[in-house]
DNA sequence: GCCGAAACCGACCGACCGTGCTATTCTCCC
DNA sequence: GGGAGAATAGCACGGTCGGTCGGTTTCGGC
């Protein structure tokens, strides 16, 4: 990897960390450059525009999410165990990501849900993929006989994500220590309903 | 109401609308003033600081939410009907609020969940009140015999809010027309589980 | 070890930010 | 209807923003 490419990676990585604290739009080139001991122009030379950097950052976040949540879950046995692990890793990622900030994608959802453009497009695609991933995992559980035939897979994914979302607010904003317990309890109910 | 107070109200109102599009932090005094045909300094004279304005805007949003969601629900008969209406008004408010933007409080959650200060404090309090309101409504349903005795009221509120949150993302960001149907379906399941 | 290319820097641009200060205009009560 | 005080405008400030440009340093292949 050339020097330039390496620096580029470091920039994206640092920008992702900063974006977890102040939002993607809130990352300014000056602050980002200073935190990397780089001049603003030196940093900027790696990207055609700030938006190009933002897209790289988002893509990096998507890659990380897949690597940390989806891939390890897919290594689990097909069916309910895989669905369970998907939820576990999701919860863990949600909490650990962004050093105290909330789930990166949730923050972006509210930052870009009414701001059209390539960033929103990429975000939408990634979230659709995520819902699909959950639904596909649920389908394996149906195929394995863990979940009942005729289960509405998209509805399952919908409620799956809902639990993760409220977990974030209750854990991060409201700082309620019971948040995880409640999330797991809700998820167990969702699983139970999906079985019989 | 004096002229000054009237202008102040108009400023807060307009700022609230703008904040629904660009976030609370994203509302700049210059743009806000221009959209009201006011000079920036003329506008600023009504508030000690930008933060004071932001707090007023948030307080206004809280008042609106109570007026549009909580108060009308409390006019419903105690028990399940009241809980149902609380959800209905919540969904409607979520969708209609901010002219295409998502629920104001959800956006603020991710804007301020790692930014301490009076705004975050007020937001936290308002959200805790909201969860309490749901839990209290659920308790009336227990008292009326609609919900089973021993129902975990806070868990009920948790899952209630979770459904509302995922609804927002699916409806607003993913623009899925089935979002509301799925939300209502999930809510019916929650009610069913709370009864028997 | 040289040399072209890649990487990086410092200075700078115009625009906009929040916030004061002072002057002018408007409102409303006597 | 005039005068006091509130409401608003004008202007300037120090800063930061994304972005540009020309020059300097560093890297990597020969």
DSSP letter for each residue of A168-182: HIIIIIS--TTHHHH
Nucleotide nearest to B10 (CA to C1'): D7
In the prediction, which pLDDT does B100 show?
A: 52
| Residue-level pLDDT at A96 | 77
Kindly report, residue by residue over A26-69, the tens digit of the pLDDT. Answer: 999 999 999 999 999 999 999 999 999 999 999 999 999 999 99
The whole-angstrom distance between residue A4's C-alpha and the CA centroid of its chain comes to 28
Q: Tell me, what's the pLDDT at A122?
A: 98
Residue B101 has pLDDT above 70, yes or no: no
B8 touches strand C (CB under 7 A): no
**Burial class of A185 by CB neighbour count within 10 A (0 to 12, 13 to 18, 19+):** middle
Query: How far apart, in whole angstroms, are the C-alpha atoms of residue A21 and residue A33?
Result: 16
Confidence label for B98 from pLDDT (cuts 50, 70 and 90)? very low
A110 close to B (CB below 8 A): yes
Q: Do A102 and B109 touch (CB under 8 A)?
A: yes
Q: What value does the mean pLDDT take over residues A15-19?
A: 95
Note whether A28 contacts B: Cβ–Cβ < 8 A.
no
Tens-digit pLDDT profile for residues A128-146: 999 999 999 999 999 999 9
pLDDT of residue A101: 56
Q: pTM of this prediction?
A: 0.94
Task: Look at residue B4 in the predicted model and tell me its pLDDT.
Answer: 74
Whether chain A has a CB inside 8 Å of the CB on B116: the answer is no
pLDDT, position B85 = 98
With contacts defined as CB-CB under 8 Å, which chain B residues touch A112?
Answer: 173
**Is B173's CB within 8 Å of A113's CB?**
yes
Nearest protein residue to nucleotide C21, judged by CA and C1' positions: B41
Rounded to an integer, what distance in angstroms lies between the CA atom of residue A82 and that of residue A70? 10
Mean pLDDT of chain A: 95
CB within 8 Å: A101 and B113: yes
* Model pLDDT, residue B97: 67
Give residue B110's pLDDT. Answer: 93
Report the distance separating Cα A143 and Cα A136, nearest Å.
10
B39 strand D contact, CB < 7 Å: yes
> Are residues B127 and A172, on separate chains, in Cβ contact within 8 Å?
no
Contacts of B110 in chain A (CB under 8 A): 23, 102, 106-107, 109-111
| The pLDDT of residue B141 | 98
Q: Which residue is nearest to nucleotide C17 (CA to C1')?
A: B28
Q: What is the pLDDT of residue A97?
A: 67
């Amino acid at each position: 990897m050339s020097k330039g490419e390496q620096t580029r990676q470091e920039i994206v990585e640092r920008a992702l960390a900063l974006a977890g604290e102040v939002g993607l739009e809130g990352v300014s080139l000056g602050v980002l450059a200073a935190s990397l001991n780089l001049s603003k122009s030196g940093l900027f030379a790696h990207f055609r525009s700030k938006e190009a950097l933002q897209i790289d950052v988002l893509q990096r976040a998507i890659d990380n999410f897949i690597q940390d949540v989806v891939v390890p879950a897919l290594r689990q046995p097909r069916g309910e165990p895989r669905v369970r692990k998907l939820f576990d890793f999701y919860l863990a990622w949600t909490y650990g990501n962004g050093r105290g900030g909330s789930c990166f994608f949730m923050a972006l959802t509210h930052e870009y849900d009414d701001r059209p453009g390539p960033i929103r497009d990429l975000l939408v695609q990634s979230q659709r993929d995520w819902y699909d991933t959950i639904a596909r995992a649920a389908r394996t559980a149906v195929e394995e006989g863990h979940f009942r035939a005729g289960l509405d897979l998209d509805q399952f994914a919908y409620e799956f994500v809902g639990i993760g979302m409220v977990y974030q607010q209750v854990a991060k904003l409201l700082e309620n220590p019971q948040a995880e317990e409640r999330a797991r309890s809700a998820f167990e109910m969702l699983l139970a309903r999906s079985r019989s």
